[in-house]
Amino acid sequence: MKLLLIHAWNARERSYRGAFSNLFSYSSLTLAAICALIPEGMFEQVDVIDENSQKVQYDRTQYDLVMISFETSSSITAYGHCAQFRKRGAYVVCGGYHATALPDEVAEHCDTVIQGPAEHSIPAFLSDFAKGCPKPRYCDFDVCAAEFPLPVRDKITKRKKLRIPGIVANRGCMNACKYCSMRMMWRNDPRPVEQVVEEIRALGSKMVIFYDPNFFGNREYVLALMKALKPLKILWASNATADFGYDHVLMQAAYDSGCRGVLIGLESLNTQSLSGVGKQFYETDRYQEIIANIHSHGIAVNGCFVLGFDHDTEEELLALPERVERLGLDLCRFAILTPYPGTKQFEEYEKNGRILTKEWDRYTQHHAVFEPAQITTERLEEIYRTVWKKAYTWRRVFRRAWRSPWRGKLYYWILLGANIGFKFLGANKRKPK
Ligand code: SF4
CATH of the domain at 40: 3.40.50.280
pLDDT at 118: 96
Give the least confident one: 159-168, 314-323, 359-368: 159-168
- On whether both 282 and 414 belong to a single domain, the answer is yes
Q: How far is the CA of 183 from the centre of ligand 1 (A)?
A: 8
Domain boundaries, position 279: 164-429
Structural domain includes residue 157: no
- On whether both 50 and 9 belong to a single domain, the answer is yes
pLDDT at 305: 96
- On whether both 241 and 386 belong to a single domain, the answer is yes
Structural domain includes residue 158: no
pLDDT at 405: 86
0.85 cut: is pTM over it? yes
- pLDDT value at 397 more than 80: yes
- Mean of all residue pLDDT scores within the chain: 92
Give the least confident one: 44-58, 76-90, 277-291, 358-372: 277-291
Q: Which of 168, 173, 262, 281 to mutate to test the pocket of ligand 1 (most atoms within 8 A of CB)?
A: 173
Q: Of all atoms in ligand 1, which is nearest to the CA of residue 183?
A: 5
| Average pLDDT estimate for 266-281 | 84
What CATH number does the domain containing 306 carry?
A: 3.20.20.70
- On whether both 197 and 90 belong to a single domain, the answer is no
What's the pLDDT tens digit per position in 330-385?
999 999 999 999 999 999 999 999 999 999 999 999 899 999 999 999 999 999 99
| CA-to-CA dists, residue 363 to 181, 346, 384, angstroms | 13, 12, 15
- On whether both 82 and 170 belong to a single domain, the answer is no
In angstroms, the CA 389 to CA 430 distance is 8
Q: How far is the CA of 159 from the centre of ligand 1 (A)?
A: 30
- Residues with beta carbon inside 6 Å of ligand 1? 173, 175-177, 180, 182-183, 213-214, 241, 265
pLDDT at 279: 77
Residue 143 gets the label, from left (phi > 0), alpha (psi -120 to 50) or beta, of beta
**241: nearest Cα among 206, 195, 287:** 287
- Per-residue confidence band for 262, with pLDDT thresholds at 50, 70 and 90: very high
pLDDT at 109: 98
Number of domains in the chain: 2
pLDDT at 18: 57
- On whether both 127 and 263 belong to a single domain, the answer is no
- On whether both 141 and 200 belong to a single domain, the answer is no
Widest distance between CA atoms in the chain: 63
Which of 83, 117, 145 terminates a domain? The answer is: 145
Which of 114, 145, 176 terminates a domain? The answer is: 145
Q: How far is the CA of 275 from the centre of ligand 1 (A)?
A: 13
Nearest CA to ligand 1 atom 3: 213
- On whether both 54 and 202 belong to a single domain, the answer is no
- On whether both 131 and 171 belong to a single domain, the answer is no
Structural domain includes residue 153: no
Q: Of all atoms in ligand 1, which is nearest to the CA of residue 239?
A: 2
In angstroms, the CA 395 to CA 398 distance is 6
Give the least confident one: 201-210, 239-248, 275-284, 399-408: 275-284
- On whether both 120 and 181 belong to a single domain, the answer is no
CB 113 within 8 A of CB 101: no
Structural domain includes residue 152: no
Q: How far is the CA of 386 from the centre of ligand 1 (A)?
A: 27
| Average pLDDT estimate for 293-309 | 96
**202: nearest Cα among 232, 239, 181:** 232
Q: How far is the CA of 250 from the centre of ligand 1 (A)?
A: 19
Percentage of residues in the chain having pLDDT higher than 70: 95
- Per-residue confidence band for 21, with pLDDT thresholds at 50, 70 and 90: low
- On whether both 140 and 177 belong to a single domain, the answer is no
- Per-residue confidence band for 24, with pLDDT thresholds at 50, 70 and 90: low
Q: How far is the CA of 339 from the centre of ligand 1 (A)?
A: 14
Q: Of all atoms in ligand 1, which is nearest to the CA of residue 214?
A: 3
- pLDDT value at 295 more than 70: yes
Q: How far is the CA of 240 from the centre of ligand 1 (A)?
A: 9
Give the least confident one: 86-100, 214-228, 360-374, 408-422: 408-422
CB 10 within 8 A of CB 141: no
Q: What is the 3-state secondary structure (H, E, C) of the chain?
A: CEEEEEECCCHHHHHHCHHHHHHHCCCCHHHHHHHCCCCCCCCCEEEEEECCCCCCCCCCCCCCEEEEECCHHHHHHHHHHHHHHHHCCCEEEEECHHHHHCHHHHHCCCCEEEECCHHHHHHHHHHHHHHCCCCCEEECCCCCHHHCCCCCCCCCCCCCCCCCCEECCCCCCCCCCCCCCHHHHCCCCCCCHHHHHHHHHHHCCCEEEECCCCCCCCHHHHHHHHHHHHHHCCEEEEEECHHHHHCHHHHHHHHHCCEEEEEEEEECCCHHHHHHCCCCCCCHHHHHHHHHHHHHCCCEEEEEEEECCCCCCHHHHHCHHHHHHHHCCCEEEEEECCCCCCCHHHHHHHHCCCECCCCHHHCCCCCCCECCCCCCHHHHHHHHHHHHHHHCCHHHHHHHHHHCCCCCCCCHHHHHHHHHHHHHHHHHHCCCC
Q: Of all atoms in ligand 1, which is nearest to the CA of residue 179?
A: 7
Q: How far is the CA of 293 from the centre of ligand 1 (A)?
A: 22
pLDDT at 404: 87
In angstroms, the CA 391 to CA 411 distance is 22
Q: Which of 177, 306, 333 to mutate to test the pocket of ligand 1 (most atoms within 8 A of CB)?
A: 177
